[in-house]
Amino acid sequence: MRRVLLLEDAVRKIETYSKWTLAGALAVVLIWASPSAFCLWRDALVDRSSELVSDGRMKVLLGLHDEAQELLERALDIDPDNTGALMEMGYLNSAAGRYADAADYFRRAAETSPANGDAWLNLGLACLSLEQYAEAEEAMRNALEADPNQLLVPYRVMAEARVRSGKRDEAIGLLEEGIAAIPDFRTYFLNTIEKRVAELGAEDEEERFVLERIMADSLLDEELAAYDGARVMETVRREQVSRLHFDLALLLAEERGTVDRAVEHYTQALAMAPSFADAYLNRAMLRFSAGDFRAAWEDLQRAQQLGCQLPDGMLAAYGAAARSEQSAPARP
């Protein structure tokens, strides 16, 4: 049985090395002469493929994209299932605006490593650029399944696909679904640890032991919050919630009769991320249009304090309206 499985692997390698018939022939010889030698040979090829990917990434950092592509293509010639090479080729093609090619690479990466959330995310983004909205949403649903903590991009892309398809009500519903789906701190923390454990190799036994103990113990939220990185995790979680509220407010602000709901969601966005300058700015404009000049002026001042660049004269106009409202006689 072992030799049958190894022979199947050899056949796949022969197909891989269609340009390298000598390597393919060597695989067949090794499979029967020495299965262990074949395994060593195969592992060496995989290692060489990984080295080429590392070299390709370095070329990308240096801006040498043509050289990077050549190295990555060589890596894929050796190992067509090298997820790292597939992802890097996808990034290169996406950056160059070749979204169809990028989608092909990300699709292959996702098929090779279904638990790779980044592969699904980038496939969804490429499909959105190609206006292939059904596949974009399917990819984003798979990304959510692969990493339930990362909801912002999937729900944003799915909502954008619905908006572009003229289905604004469905886009609003998707963003509401995303807000409801954001896990609480405890679940988010444990999801992150579980994902990290799945990524650890055999050499990381000490870290694996510590993380698995955390997952097994029934710790209080306060105890979880004491662990390194917990504060960063909570900040990332809250920012995702904030951004989804912000995106939902943007859509609601454009719908008739939903301005109050939009203001409410901007307020929710600020509750999760108090330094979100654009949320203050957008809430200020809605409040101003509704005649709540004093609150609008306060929001605008806060947006400016946080570094938001305001149009010339905007702050002065809002201030004048606020003072006028304050000095106006009370209505009977």
Average pLDDT score, the chain: 81
Distances (CA, A) of 306 to 163, 269, 276: 30, 15, 8
Q: Which residue has the higher pLDDT, 276 or 206?
A: 276
Q: What is the pLDDT of residues 100-109, one digit of tens each?
A: 999 999 999 9
Q: Assess whether pLDDT exceeds 90 at residue 281.
A: yes
DSSP string across 173-196: HHHHHHHHHS--HHHHHHHHHHHH
Residues 106 and 174 in one domain: no
Mean pLDDT of 48-73: 73
Q: Which residue has the higher pLDDT, 107 or 223?
A: 107
CATH of the domain at 140: 1.25.40.10
Residues 221 and 242 in one domain: yes
Q: Which residue has the higher pLDDT, 76 or 173?
A: 173
Angle made by CA atoms 214, 218, 224, in degrees to the nearest 5:
55
Please tell me the predicted confidence (pLDDT) of residue 306: 95
Residues 156 and 263 in one domain: yes
Q: What is the pLDDT of residues 109-160, one digit of tens each?
A: 999 999 899 999 999 999 999 999 999 999 999 999 998 888 999 999 999 9
What is the number of helices (H) and of strands (E) in the chain?
Answer: 18, 0
**Domains identified in the chain, total number:** 4
Please tell me the predicted confidence (pLDDT) of residue 20: 43
Residue 226: pLDDT band by 50, 70, 90 thresholds?
low
C-alpha dihedral (222, 224, 226, 228), degrees to nearest 10: -160
Please tell me the predicted confidence (pLDDT) of residue 161: 96
Which of 50, 74, 98 is a domain's end point? 74
Residue 175: pLDDT band by 50, 70, 90 thresholds?
very high
Q: Which residue has the higher pLDDT, 33 or 73?
A: 73
Q: Which residue has the higher pLDDT, 308 or 196?
A: 308
Residues 293 and 262 in one domain: no
Residues 92 and 193 in one domain: no
Please tell me the predicted confidence (pLDDT) of residue 21: 45
Residues 300 and 252 in one domain: no
Which of 74, 106, 139 is a domain's end point? 74
Residues 161 and 260 in one domain: yes
Residues 61 and 87 in one domain: no
Please tell me the predicted confidence (pLDDT) of residue 15: 42
Residues 63 and 168 in one domain: no
The domain in which residue 65 lies consists of 1-74
Residues 21 and 53 in one domain: yes
Please tell me the predicted confidence (pLDDT) of residue 39: 52
What's the rounded Cα separation, in Å, for the pair 328 and 322?
A: 10
Q: Residue 58 carries which DSSP code?
A: H
Residue 5: pLDDT band by 50, 70, 90 thresholds?
very low
Residues 213 and 323 in one domain: no
Residues 270 and 194 in one domain: yes
Q: Assess whether pLDDT exceeds 90 at residue 169.
A: yes
Of the given ranges (17-26, 78-87, 271-280), which has the lowest mean pLDDT? 17-26
Which of 247, 274, 301 is a domain's end point? 274
Of the given ranges (33-37, 92-96, 128-132, 230-234), which has the lowest mean pLDDT? 33-37
pTM for this model (two decimals): 0.77
Please tell me the predicted confidence (pLDDT) of residue 220: 58
